[in-house]
Each structure stands twice: as C-alpha cells, then as structure tokens.
Structure 1
Amino acid sequence: MGLGRLMVTLKSKIRSLKILKKPDYDKVEKSESMRMEIRSRKARKLIEETLKVADSPKPKAFAF
C-alpha cells in the first residue's frame, strides 16, 4: 500500500512541475504601430464585407 501512495505522490508532483513550467520564449509586447496595423486590417476587412453586401444583387436587409 505504501508503494501505491508513493506513486500517487510522485505523479502529482510531476504534474505540478509541468504546469509551472514557463514557456521557452519571451512574449512580444505590441507596439503602437502593431496596434495600428491590426486596427487597419480589421477596418479593411469590415469595409470589404460591407462593399460585398452592397454590391450583391440580393435585397438590402441587415440583421441587427
């Protein structure tokens, strides 16, 4: 019975070490230019979708 308890303890310690392991890379902070680029991409995508709906021959009904 003592061996089983030891195995459970070791397994739980190994799991906790895996959880606490830090990633092997540093997180890159977004600069202001990166944020602007992300916003402009989202804006371009939204404009493209809007123009696609506006140019489609289907009725112009929006579901808000």
Structure 2
Amino acid sequence: MVMMGLDKLMTNLKSKLKSIKTKKPYDKIEKSESMRVEIRSKKAQKLIQDTLKIADSPNTKSYAF
C-alpha cells in the first residue's frame, strides 16, 4: 500500500520536473524610449548622489575661491 503511494508520488514528481524543463524561456521585451529615458535618469540621479556624498565627506579638501 505504501509502495503504491510512493510510486504515484514519484511519477507525479517526474512529470512535474519534465514540464518545468520543457517550458520555453520568456520572450525578452524590447525597451521603449520612455524606459530608456527613465533608466538614464536613475543612473544620473545615482551619480549625483555619489558625487555629493564624496564632496560632503570630511576627507575631501575643497578650496574656496
């Protein structure tokens, strides 16, 4: 009785694994122009934050003109 349950379980697991392996990978979505602009904007904001962090650090020597 227990062996029959294990056999069913193994068969079920094998079929699920096969279905996972045979699934096709997702189609890559092309980036729209608005997505590209947003990515550039985020990169620019990050660069500005990093620059300000370095400029505000106590180790940075700044010269007043």
TM-score normalized by the length of structure 2 = 0.49
Larger Cα-atom Rg: 2
TM-score normalized by the length of structure 1 = 0.49
